[in-house]
Amino acid sequence: MDHYSQAGYELIKAFIIESFVARLNGTDLDTAVNLTARPDFDWDLLLQIADYEHVSPLLYSILKDRQIAPPPMEEALARKHYYNASRNLYLLHELGQTLKLFRAAGIDTIVLKGAALIETVYKSIALRPLSDLDLLIRRKQLPAALELLAPVEYEQTSVLQRDSYYPVRLEKPGIEPVILELHWSLFHSLHYQEHLSMDWFWQTARTVKTGLQPMTIMGSVGQILHLCGHLVLHHAHGPQLLWQNDLAELLTVYKNEIDWNLLLDKAETFQLILPLRNILLPIAHEWGASMPKKILHRLETMEVSAVETRIHTLNTTKKKSEGQGYWLRLNEIAGWRKRLVFVLEWLFPSPVSLRSRYRFSQPLLVPLAYLYHMWVGARLGVGALLTRFRKANSSM
């Protein structure tokens, strides 16, 4: 989309947001329609941006039969809408089977992100795309969960290290592959994995009834904290409209039950003020989401600690290489002893982790894999140091 002007891109995004705001408020689409009358409005670009932002199914539900979009454009959006409905039906069925399996084995599970919002917030399986299924479990139950999933054709595709900060990713092959991610923390950040109190999120979770299986989701305050943090810390440089709309929809549906002061208190305790400020203020001011004025003022004026500012910068810096990402993550850790442990665990992972990372099956190859892994680590480390050196020289 680089060959389109920034102005044209912003015009399309404004149209999408105005359409979503009209849906949220139950008002007409006059403001959005007026934007289509501008000579630089490009319907082909709309399709591209809607796909990039993963909002084509929702946009179709708003424009359907209103004679706003040209017929070919509406038909293209309709195909994406109905494909998403059938795909989500399949994925939610798989989710229900997994939850049933875990429940029978006594594995505590909280459904996260899109799968937790489809029936509770969007009220339709067709509107919100799912790229994968995200489940929060207790870390000590991870081995039992993996053991249960193996016989039902889930294959682990991520690297499992002894102290890995990423969730375990599994894939079930088929006509429509199912990607399942098992989380034990809410963010990849090592700082938040150490300082975030997961007990509170488990204690405030609630069970809801859905069309397939009952599921446990986080309470409204927990969901807002997680969605804001996830968007800012994990998706600062990618598509954002879907995640922003998730929060706008959630604020609308739960507006009468959200404990706003508790939300800000927890944001301060968990060092998540900046994610809330960066996401909720624009949603309130630009999307018109309902938030008390006193809360908006408090959020705008809350003091952000130096630690949160540093961690926020580390996690939102665009990482151009794996080495840079590793270096930034290392700098999240407080204390040289913990940093040394992190480095050693990366340099000397378990044999299971090596086989998962480098895709070999013969045990005799483990020593060679260790040598190759250390060479990769040295190369990444040198690359990261060179990048820092160049930046230091350029700023002089």
What are the tens digits of pLDDT across the range 275-323? 999 999 999 998 988 899 999 999 999 999 999 998 898 888 876 565 5
Residue 388 has pLDDT above 80, yes or no: no
Q: Residue count of the chain, please give it.
A: 396
Residue 60 has pLDDT above 70, yes or no: yes
Start-end of H helices in the chain: 6-25, 30-36, 43-52, 56-63, 71-104, 113-117, 142-149, 190-195, 198-203, 220-234, 241-253, 260-269, 273-286, 293-301, 306-316, 322-330, 336-347, 351-358, 366-394
- With bands split at pLDDT 50, 70 and 90, how would you rate the model's confidence at 161? very low
Per-residue pLDDT tens digits for 374-385: 777 677 666 656
Per-residue model confidence (pLDDT) at position 359: 67
Residue 358 has pLDDT above 90, yes or no: no
Q: What is the mean pLDDT of residues 128-148?
A: 94
Per-residue pLDDT tens digits for 190-244: 889 888 989 999 999 999 987 767 899 999 999 999 999 999 998 888 889 999 9
In the block, residue with structure tokens 């997994």 = 98
Per-residue model confidence (pLDDT) at position 395: 58
> What integer best gives the mean pLDDT of the chain?
87
Per-residue model confidence (pLDDT) at position 223: 97
In the block, residue with structure tokens 């404990």 = 259
Residue 3 has pLDDT above 60, yes or no: no
Q: What is the mean pLDDT of residues 136-160?
A: 88
Compute how many other C-beta atoms are within 10 angstroms of the C-beta atom of residue 48.
14
Give the least confident one: 6-10, 20-24, 129-133, 134-138. 6-10
Instruction: Quote the CA–CA distance of 386 and 392 in Å, as a whole number.
Output: 10
Per-residue pLDDT tens digits for 70-80: 999 999 999 99
pTM, whole model, 2 decimals? 0.86
Tell me what percent of the residues of the chain surpass a pLDDT of 90. 63
Per-residue model confidence (pLDDT) at position 338: 72
